[in-house]
Every structure is written in C-alpha cells, then in structure tokens.
Amino acid sequence: MAEIFTWGVIPIPIIIFQTLALLFSIAIEAYIFSRQLLLTHRECVQYSAAINLLSAIAVWLFGFTMQAFLPPKFKLQLISYIFLGRFYNIENETLFNFVIVLLLLFLFFLVCFVEFKGLDFLEIIFSEWPELNTPEERQEFRQRLVAAVTYTDPEKVTAIFWANAASNSAILLVILIAVLQYYT
C-alpha cells in the first residue's frame, strides 16, 4: 500500500521546469507588453500570467491528445521525456532532431495563437459588462464576442509574437546551458 504514495510516478522535473518556464515567460512578456501595448505594469503582469497559463494548458492538452495517436516508439519517447527528463534510446538522431524542431515550431505558433485569442477574450472579460437586459445590449455583447473571435489587432499580434519569441529564446538558452552541463 505504501508504494502507491511514492513520488516516483510524479514527473517532478517537468513540473519544476514548467513552473520556471512560466515565471520566465510571464516576466519577459509583461515587460514587452508594457513597452509595446502601453498598458499599466499591473495589467501587463495580469494579462501575461493569464495568457501564459492558458497557453500552457493548451500545450498540455495538445500533448495528451496527440499521444493517443502516436506510434509506440514515439509514445515511449514522450513518456520517457516527461517522467525521466530525457529521451530513450534514439535510433535515428537526425530524423528525431528534425521532428523535434518541427514540433517546437508548431508549438510556438500554437502558443502564439492561443495567446492572441486569449488576450482578446481577457479584454472582453475585464471590460465593463453591459447589463444585458435589452435585446440591443445582448446584440452588442454578441458582436464584441464575435469580434474577439474573428479580429485581432495587429499591434497586439506583433507584441505577442515578439514577447513569445523573447521568452522562448530565454527558456531555450536555459535549456541549452543545462544540456551543456549534462554532457560536459
């Protein structure tokens, strides 16, 4: 019975890495938002924290969904990386590295998209809500929701793209330093 409560099945390294990555991302992106979107520091930190948590959830949901469709070799690699922090017995390193780079590029653009739309929805949520008593107020609110789904301000797109690029570059630099220490 005591084996059930061991910490061996909890992916502590990934949890710690995800927490540190979120802290890096929130700080860097809030700084860039304050420079480019001209919001208050408090708003920048709130928006950055909310959209980074939303994008982290989206990435984890994508990972859990996609692992069901992976062939057994790739599923083993994914599980090995999540629980052990390293990949297991890679046969063709060149192909594997190419697939990892493509996956990271896809995840970067997925995160950007989730953060684009997340910021639009957050602005609607944090704005003043109409009373929604009259049909006109309901119609106006529906139009604001449709606008959040279909339109994104180009300034926000640029700010979020550069903020993600900066935060992901910082995270990759930390990973590179960790990997270099592991192999030296």
Neighbour tally for 96: CB within 10 Å: 15
Examine residue 69 and state whether it is found in any structural domain, yes or no.
yes
Per-residue confidence of the chain (184 residues) as pLDDT tens digits?
Answer: 445 555 556 777 778 888 999 999 999 999 999 999 888 999 899 989 999 999 999 988 988 888 888 888 778 877 777 766 667 777 777 877 788 888 889 989 999 999 888 888 887 777 766 666 778 877 887 887 787 778 778 888 899 999 999 999 998 888 888 778 777 6
Give the per-residue pLDDT at 48. 93
What is the C-alpha to C-alpha distance for residues 177 and 154, in angstroms, rounded to an integer? Answer: 34
Examine residue 146 and state whether it is found in any structural domain, yes or no.
no
Examine residue 140 and state whether it is found in any structural domain, yes or no.
no
Examine residue 120 and state whether it is found in any structural domain, yes or no.
no
Give the per-residue pLDDT at 130. 64
Examine residue 31 and state whether it is found in any structural domain, yes or no.
yes
DSSP letters, 123-148, are HHHHSPPP---SHHHHHHHHHHHHHH
Examine residue 27 and state whether it is found in any structural domain, yes or no.
yes
The residue written with tokens 């997340």 in the block is 118
Q: Shortest CA distance to 76 belongs to which of 85, 87, 66?
A: 87
Rg for the chain (alpha carbons), in Å? 20
What is the C-alpha to C-alpha distance for residues 78 and 72, in angstroms, rounded to an integer? Answer: 10
Number of domains in the chain: 1
What is the C-alpha to C-alpha distance for residues 164 and 114, in angstroms, rounded to an integer? Answer: 11
Burial of residue 123 (number of CB atoms within 10 Å: 0-12, 13-18, 19+): middle
Domain span including residue 48: 2-111+152-183
The first and second tokens of residue 20, run together, are 């540190």
Give the per-residue pLDDT at 1. 45
Give the per-residue pLDDT at 162. 94
Give the per-residue pLDDT at 85. 64
Examine residue 7 and state whether it is found in any structural domain, yes or no.
yes
The residue written with tokens 């540190």 in the block is 20
Q: Shortest CA distance to 66 belongs to which of 111, 102, 103, 12?
A: 103
What is the C-alpha to C-alpha distance for residues 170 and 175, in angstroms, rounded to an integer? Answer: 9
Examine residue 135 and state whether it is found in any structural domain, yes or no.
no
